[in-house]
Structure 1
Amino acid sequence: MLKSISYINIALAIVYFLFYLLNSTSYAMIGIFTVIAFSGLTVRNAEKDIKPTTIYFILGLPVLVFAGFLAIWTYNVIVASFEHNYFGNSWLYIAISACLIAGIIIQSILLLIHRP
């Protein structure tokens, strides 16, 4: 399960990057790359059945902070969409962001309870 969630997070992070951050120079790009690195490390260690080490917590904290910021950004998009009565292009962003946030949180919880 942990490996599957990690693969899903990698795919969602790449989709989020390609659709919304390709021309961005913001700190969100660093967050996306951290999610990809964290998920890749999780996949590698899950395949080798290695226990979580301190590098997980070093990478995991910025990933959770990024998930928090992503939740705030998604909330702001939802509020703005209601205010302007425009959900034309925002539904896809909201769906991808919500899935990425949920994936990050689920992966972090599974990593904390995973004991090989």
Structure 2
Amino acid sequence: MTSVLLVGECDDSGSLGQPALQAITAANRLTDPEITVVIVGDLPPSVSSLPVGLVLGIPKVDESDIGIYEQATTDIFQIINRVHPDVVLFNKSDFGFLGLHRVWPFV
């Protein structure tokens, strides 16, 4: 079993972004995947139909934390410690790039 943690974001329309959906599709091609999706911000109604084992939400990034992402990083660390994934994936975005670099040294 391969445990995958995907950190995704919603787009401007409130739907899970296309990069996250593509990552979920790719992760489901693994042998016996266990996929957890973490969504930054409000959970869209469509999450109930995602082909994943668990969907978690963390609070939307506060304006004062944009570019720093301290609270979101702390939240993601807590989830990593909870689910112990083999792989952690982030969206290709400002948050994904900076969040990955804040989490990477400690995973």
> TM-score with structure 1 length normalisation?
0.31
Computing the radius of gyration from Cα coordinates, the structure with the larger value is 1
More strand by share: 2
TM-score in terms of structure 2 length: 0.33
Larger RCO, structures 1/2 (Cα 8 Å, 6+ apart): 1
